[in-house]
Structure 1
Amino acid sequence: MQDPRLKIRCPRKALQWRVYFVLCILMLTAGSYAQTQPKISSSVDTTTIKIGEQINFTVTVETDTLAQVIFPEGQTFSPLETVEAFETDTAIKADRMTLRKIYALTQFDSGLYKLPAQRIEINGKGYFTDSTQIKVADVPVDTLAQKMYDIKPLIEVEKGNSGLWKWLLGILLALVVAGGLAWWFFLRKKPLSEEEKVALLPPYDRALMELKKLENSKYLIQDEYKEYYSELTNIVRSYLEEDVNITALESTTDELITKLEMLRDAGELQIDNGTLQQFKRILQTADLVKFAKSKPDTTVAEHDRKAIEEIVTKTHEALPEPTEEELMEQAEYQEELALKKQRKKWRMAGLAALALLVLTTGASIAYYGFDYVKDTVLGHPTKKLLEGEWVASTYGYPPISMETPEVLIRQDVKLTPDMKANIQDLQIFMYRNSKALFTVGTTSTTLTQQVEPNFEQSVEMFIEDLERKGAKNIITKQEEFTTVSGVKGIKVYGSGQFAVPESDELVRGKYSILLFGGKGFQQQVILTWLEGDEYAEKIVERIQRTLEVKTDV
């Protein structure tokens, strides 16, 4: 029989072990949770600076080595301005890492400013740093030590053509390339080939050179008598046609001999009858070889070549010396031929440049499209804005940050007594391009009462202002808008017929109003552009994509 006390003690011991086991598990879990929980800290090297001086704001994050940490970027420290964000310093120890990032901040107006809490994203979860008060003190100026002058009036400055040199450089390079190609292919003096060098020789020298070449040929060795005599007679006939100025190539043997006899009888060619008879015999032998398939002895063929060489020499010596008038006519003729060749080269160069231009234009149109090429050549105002250097800046307070093609200019605004009852401060910045009919503006309004802004009233006032300026048939749509950082607002957009400045003309245009705000303040971004302007559409899309607003006043 068992002792009853054992029944009581055993469950107690079992219960105690269970409690110890659970406590151990909880302690281990708590330890591991403490290890994985990230730690965020921030500090500034000073809380008091002078205007334009910098402070270093340091953010330190301690977390696991596998964690993904995203630090704030851009102008997120407003009303302070970011001068520089330094590279993140990383230190790893065991399975923990410490990330340290420093931001250089400044402010150019005196006063007491709040450095807002910054959001650090770790593994998709947001953690915030502490906010800090920064005092910006005036720089003391000794007005007695130097003479003071009145503020100079504003000077109207024409907008510089900073991008003109790029166009001029591109055109200059294109002309240099086209000129180089034209010179290389058409205008430069190209090295002559052997055939061209022979063709430029005087008829007498060329005939002797060709006869010498015929002597070294293999026609007779290969029993090619027809080719031999054909080339022999062509050489002498070409010489007579060029130097003696008779139609020798198309004449028969008898006709050619008759023409030479007539020149001899007229005293224009001093050649004896024996030379003519010998020439006639060689021509008749050549006719028999070419047409009757006669085959003379090799020694006869070689003798005929030598005889033709002597006939060419005698004929050349028998020609009278050209008169001064003939020489002048020949010089003028040669000069005119050179001019014709030069004009032909220039025409070819012009046609080549025109063909290159047409080919380049056609290829550009095929690749980019006709409208893009036309806008690039003629210059489209919004295309220049889209492809120019953009400006990233913050406007007004509460601040509105965004990228724009040009910096927005502060507008002078005077509050009426009725407006002062509800508005404490109103800051407007605007850029307007009348040629492109493009406008972008921001409005930051601080209310006198801590009440929610009336967005509907703001939109109605904007539409009424458009109608007062001549706009008609205005269509209005509305939807929710969210910035990249997650700030939600309202987007009111639509189209209508807008009046062209300084004209009675109406054009189809579009508009977009982005409204944000909270208790005691309101922020607006207004955009207007020409309907169908694809470059303006891309500008608006980029502005809206880069838009950020601060809702912490």
Structure 2
Amino acid sequence: MQNTESKIRINNFIWHGMRWSFLLFIFGGFFAFSQEGSNVVSNVDTTSIKIGEQIKFTVTVETDTTAQVIFPEGQTFSPLETVEAFATDTTRKNDRMTLQKIYALTQFDSGSYKLPSQRIEINGKGFFTDSTEILVANVPVDTLAQKMYDIKPLMEVEKSNAKFWITLVIALLLIALLGGALYWFVFRKKPLSKEEKEALLPPYDRALIELKKLENSKYLIQDEYKQYYSELTGIVRSYLEEDVHVSALESTTDELILKLEMLRDAGELKIDHDTLQQFKRILQTADLVKFAKSKPDTSIAEQDRKSIEDIVTKTHDALPEPTVEELMEQAEYQEEVARKRQKKKIIIASAAAVAALLIFTGAAVAYYGFGYVRDTVIGHPTKELLESEWVASTYGYPPISLETPEVLKRQEVKLSAEAKANIKDIQTFVYDEADNLFSVHTISTTLNKDIEPDYEKSIESLIKKLESQGAKNILTKQEEFTTLSGVKGVRIYGSGTFPSPGSEESVRGKYSIILFGGKGFQQQIMLTWQDGDAYAEDIVNRILGTIDVKTEV
């Protein structure tokens, strides 16, 4: 019995083992097929490029149509740079597909670079491309076959005025449109509309016209009694307010009737008692319609309108003839109205003029800039100098020639006994602003001996002179300077803190000192100006461009 059970167990074990082996064989074959079913191939169109040229790196993936494929993105090709990653090209055939991805790569330095292996992910598993060596060659320059040339000088180009004319045309068009609108809507004599003509009529005539319009209205047909009676009482109250000069619009029915009775008793309104009672009844009916939602017959409403028309006529006839004083008051009132209209026109015209000025100013600011327009309107000392008529002159001996906004004035210099031992003659010419740091100095010096001037001592002397005048924290730079005629000299320039003319405060300023000389003589030009003054900078640059000196005594 035990042997039989043992045999059965052995047989079951063998059977299960064979079954699992069969399944593993089937699925193992499946997995192997899937692994072999995905294929990744990469290639480059060239392995040698020049600096800045591009190579095409192509990755081709063949796999199932259901597979999820992820290509590398971004700068994953370092040290090569990705110029562009083209869209993936997909081709399908039955249950297979072929994906092709192309990358444009480059490098801007010569040398040998390795295109790194890239990871292509298919259904979560990574496949890697081959790495490739890329040679980036330098661009040769044949200096023997082709000559080398100096850098060409700057060419002056005339400033285009296109922007100015466009800005000017736009500003003029806006001003013309503003002027046209001003004429059309304000100063043009416009024909009066029907409503405006009616508004100019006397109160009595206007009341009759409005009552006629009410008669032709559709209020009663549309069962709008409240609106009908509101307009009816409004017409008669406005008439009484204007023609009878009684406060009717803000008075209740009883108050209005009482005021009319008082005028009648005073002899200022000749109207009978029955007319007043009839007027009172119509007002009371209107109150009931407006506040108690009463609805009289249509015939009564039409009769009330006729009665109001009759009351307006009787009231107008009952008014006494206007006195001379009243007529004068009416004339004065008309004049006052005319003055108000004229004043309104003046205000509108002034506003239009201000608007035109703002348009013109805005155009000027858009073209020239806010600072320039502000300085033009308010005034700026160095701007006025820059735009003035310049003077070309020669100063001192040995002569110094230059152009300046104003003529330089001779300044007497007293030499000390020690200075006279070395200096034969010194001639100084100066221009300076009373309330501005801008100044121009020329100094021509002849020496007693035929020796070359000591520039270092001259510079030191000039710097000490500036310091003696209150300058502080002076920074100095030096460079060669060449005049228009080719004479070479030395330019010392820099910045510092200078005392402000006309005040005890100090301001940041700049200076420029140009020195020339030869055996037995020396020439100096010194300029100072406030830091940040663009107009002064333009003046200085223009003066430096006109300097010329004679080097032979």
Question: What TM-score do you get using the length of structure 1 for normalisation?
Answer: 0.51
State the Cα deviation string for residues 155-214 of structure 1 (Å, max 9, x = none). xxxxxxxxxxxxxxxxxxxxxx9xx99x98999798676555544433212212222333
Q: Residue 307 and residue 427 in structure 1: after superposition, are their counterparts in 2 closer, same or farther (change >3 A)?
A: same
Work out whether residues 187 and 345 of structure 2, in 8 Å CA contact, stay in contact via their aligned partners in 1: no
Could you tell me how far 1:507 is from its partner in structure 2?
5.0
| Equivalent residue, structure 2, for 1:210 | 210
Could you tell me how far 1:315 is from its partner in structure 2?
0.7
Work out whether residues 498 and 507 of structure 1, in 8 Å CA contact, stay in contact via their aligned partners in 2: yes
State how far apart, in whole Å, the 2-side matches of 1:323 and 1:504 are: 74
Could you tell me how far 1:525 is from its partner in structure 2?
1.3
* CA RMSD across the alignment: 5.6
State how far apart, in whole Å, the 1-side matches of 2:344 and 2:535 are: 46
State how far apart, in whole Å, the 2-side matches of 1:259 and 1:227 are: 26
Which segment drifts farther, 301-310 or 206-215?
Answer: 301-310
Could you tell me how far 1:312 is from its partner in structure 2?
0.7
State the Cα deviation string for residues 78-120 of structure 1 (Å, max 9, x = none). xxxxxxxxxxxxxxxxxxxxxxxxxxxxxxxxxxxxxxxxxxx
Alignment of 1:299-448 (within 5 A): 301-324=301-324, 326-327=326-327, 376=376, 379-391=379-391, 400=400, 402-409=402-409, 429-444=429-444
State the Cα deviation string for residues 454-503 of structure 1 (Å, max 9, x = none). 212333443565577x54657462411334767643223456776788x8
One-letter identity of the residue aligned with 2:244: V
Alignment of 1:213-362 (within 5 A): 213-287=213-287, 289-290=289-290, 291-294=292-295, 296-297=297-298, 301-324=301-324, 326-327=326-327
Q: Secondary structure at the residue paired with 1:240?
A: helix
State how far apart, in whole Å, the 1-side matches of 2:276 and 2:367 are: 73
State how far apart, in whole Å, the 1-side matches of 2:496 and 2:230 are: 89
State the Cα deviation string for residues 22-79 of structure 1 (Å, max 9, x = none). xxxxxxxxxxxxxxxxxxxxxxxxxxxxxxxxxxxxxxxxxxxxxxxxxxxxxxxxxx
Work out whether residues 492 and 514 of structure 1, in 8 Å CA contact, stay in contact via their aligned partners in 2: yes
Which segment drifts farther, 305-314 or 514-523?
Answer: 514-523
Q: Residue 512 and residue 258 in structure 1: after superposition, are their counterparts in 2 closer, same or farther (change >3 A)?
A: closer
Q: Secondary structure at the residue paired with 2:315?
A: helix
Work out whether residues 219 and 228 of structure 2, in 8 Å CA contact, stay in contact via their aligned partners in 1: yes
State the Cα deviation string for residues 195-237 of structure 1 (Å, max 9, x = none). 5554443321221222233334344454544323321221012
Q: Secondary structure at the residue paired with 1:431?
A: strand
State how far apart, in whole Å, the 2-side matches of 1:288 and 1:472 are: 95
Tell me if 1:455 matches 2:455.
yes
Q: Secondary structure at the residue paired with 2:270?
A: coil
State how far apart, in whole Å, the 1-side matches of 2:248 and 2:416 are: 109
State the Cα deviation string for residues 498-536 of structure 1 (Å, max 9, x = none). 6788x8968556543111344565432111345665543
One-letter identity of the residue aligned with 1:314: K
One-letter identity of the residue aligned with 2:527: L
Work out whether residues 472 and 498 of structure 2, in 8 Å CA contact, stay in contact via their aligned partners in 1: no
State how far apart, in whole Å, the 1-side matches of 2:499 and 2:277 are: 102
Matched residues, number? 378
One-letter identity of the residue aligned with 2:380: H
Q: Residue 520 and residue 258 in structure 1: after superposition, are their counterparts in 2 closer, same or farther (change >3 A)?
A: closer
One-letter identity of the residue aligned with 2:238: S
State the Cα deviation string for residues 215-273 of structure 1 (Å, max 9, x = none). 34344454544323321221012112222233433444455445434443443322234
Q: Secondary structure at the residue paired with 1:292?
A: coil
State how far apart, in whole Å, the 2-side matches of 1:513 and 1:480 are: 11
One-letter identity of the residue aligned with 1:232: L
| Equivalent residue, structure 1, for 2:55 | none
One-letter identity of the residue aligned with 1:526: M
State how far apart, in whole Å, the 2-side matches of 1:285 and 1:338 are: 41
Q: Residue 223 and residue 483 in structure 1: after superposition, are their counterparts in 2 closer, same or farther (change >3 A)?
A: farther
One-letter identity of the residue aligned with 1:231: E
State the Cα deviation string for residues 396-437 of structure 1 (Å, max 9, x = none). 677655443224456689999999997788765443333324
Percent identical: 66
| Structure 2 residues not aligned, in runs of 5+ | 1-148, 153-175
Which segment drifts farther, 202-211 or 269-278?
Answer: 269-278
Q: Residue 313 and residue 443 in structure 1: after superposition, are their counterparts in 2 closer, same or farther (change >3 A)?
A: same
Work out whether residues 430 and 440 of structure 1, in 8 Å CA contact, stay in contact via their aligned partners in 2: yes
State the Cα deviation string for residues 334-370 of structure 1 (Å, max 9, x = none). 7677778888888899899999999999999999999
| Equivalent residue, structure 1, for 2:480 | 481
Could you tell me how far 1:374 is from its partner in structure 2?
7.0
Question: What TM-score do you get using the length of structure 2 for normalisation?
Answer: 0.51
Which segment drifts farther, 489-498 or 271-280?
Answer: 489-498
Could you tell me how far 1:318 is from its partner in structure 2?
0.8
Q: Residue 523 and residue 125 in structure 1: after superposition, are their counterparts in 2 closer, same or farther (change >3 A)?
A: farther
| Equivalent residue, structure 2, for 1:166 | none
State how far apart, in whole Å, the 2-side matches of 1:344 and 1:515 are: 68
One-letter identity of the residue aligned with 2:211: L
Q: Residue 315 and residue 505 in structure 1: after superposition, are their counterparts in 2 closer, same or farther (change >3 A)?
A: closer
Q: Residue 479 and residue 318 in structure 1: after superposition, are their counterparts in 2 closer, same or farther (change >3 A)?
A: same
